Amino acid sequence: MKTKFKDLTIWITGASSGLGEALAIAFAKKGATIILSGRNEDKLEAVKEQCKKSKNHHIVPFDISDSEQTQAAYKSAINKAGKIDWLINNAGVSQRSLIMETSEDVERQIMELDYFAQTRLTRLVLPAMLEQGGGKIVMISSIAGLIGTQYRGAYSAAKAAIHLWANSLRAELYDQGIEVATIFPGFIQTNVSINALTGDGSALGTMDEATSKGLTASEFAKQVVKALSKGEEYIIVGGRQERMATRVNRLSPPKLYKLIRQSQVR
């Protein structure tokens, strides 16, 4: 059945830039009503202005790592939009540091943002979705959550955790009308590596070469919109190298990790 986007209200976190910005613009173009969230209200307003029929969309700024702000944001989203049909959990942070150089506090910070913040917001949204007869939860994991590589130990762990949590959610609530999709981006041209945390918690501050050569955020969004509109639940979006790696991993993990050990991943 074709998705009727004009009837949907979609809440997107991390919508002030990168993947979230591209998804907001793409879904608005399809006719959906968008709730845009992130920490920076000015940036959210700028993204909203890029969305088709910008007056139809809503801004709900908050810090997703703060549980009280998250609860207030949910109430604000409902008050402004009336309902939430899809929740796209996109907010998060990446990592660029070796395991032996990363403090436990930094690992906890990554897990809080990339796992606990996502599950917390999802549990807030689900009761109303169930009451209205259904909805869709979308988790942004990562190919790093399928394939652990150097410099991404905690990030890979968090993204793997959210992937498996989503699998369990799908199994538990499918017969109650809740659809769950997980997206696994590869290298996409965003600020993800610039904002990535290093071992002491500071931002890397530079774009790595692989990210700069990745897919554009708009191409990522185009593929995601198409896949979600078809009801796909397991969506890998990346270049040839990343897609090949996931296939090799399914066939022979030892072979893949031999290649990873020999690669210059950063």
Q: Which residue is catalytic, options 74, 115, 155, 234?
A: 155
155 belongs to the catalytic site: yes
Neighbours of 33 (CB within 10 A): 24
| Beta bridge partners of residue 139, listed in sequence order | 89, 182
Cα-based angle 75, 185, 81 (whole degrees, multiple of 5) = 20
- Spell 82-113 as b/e; 16+ CB within 10 A means b: eebbbbbbbbbbbbbbeeeebeeebbebbbbb
The answer to whether the beta carbons of residues 135 and 92 sit under 8 Å apart is: no
What is the distance between the alpha carbons of residues 120 and 187, in angstroms, rounded to a whole number?
27
Measured distance CA(201)–CA(96) in Å, rounded: 10
Amino acid 226 reads K
Measured between alpha carbons, how far is 202 from 120 in angstroms, rounded to an integer? 25
Which residues, in sequence order, are bridge partners of residue 97?
152
- CA distance linking residue 21 with residue 12, whole number of Å: 9
Active site members: 155
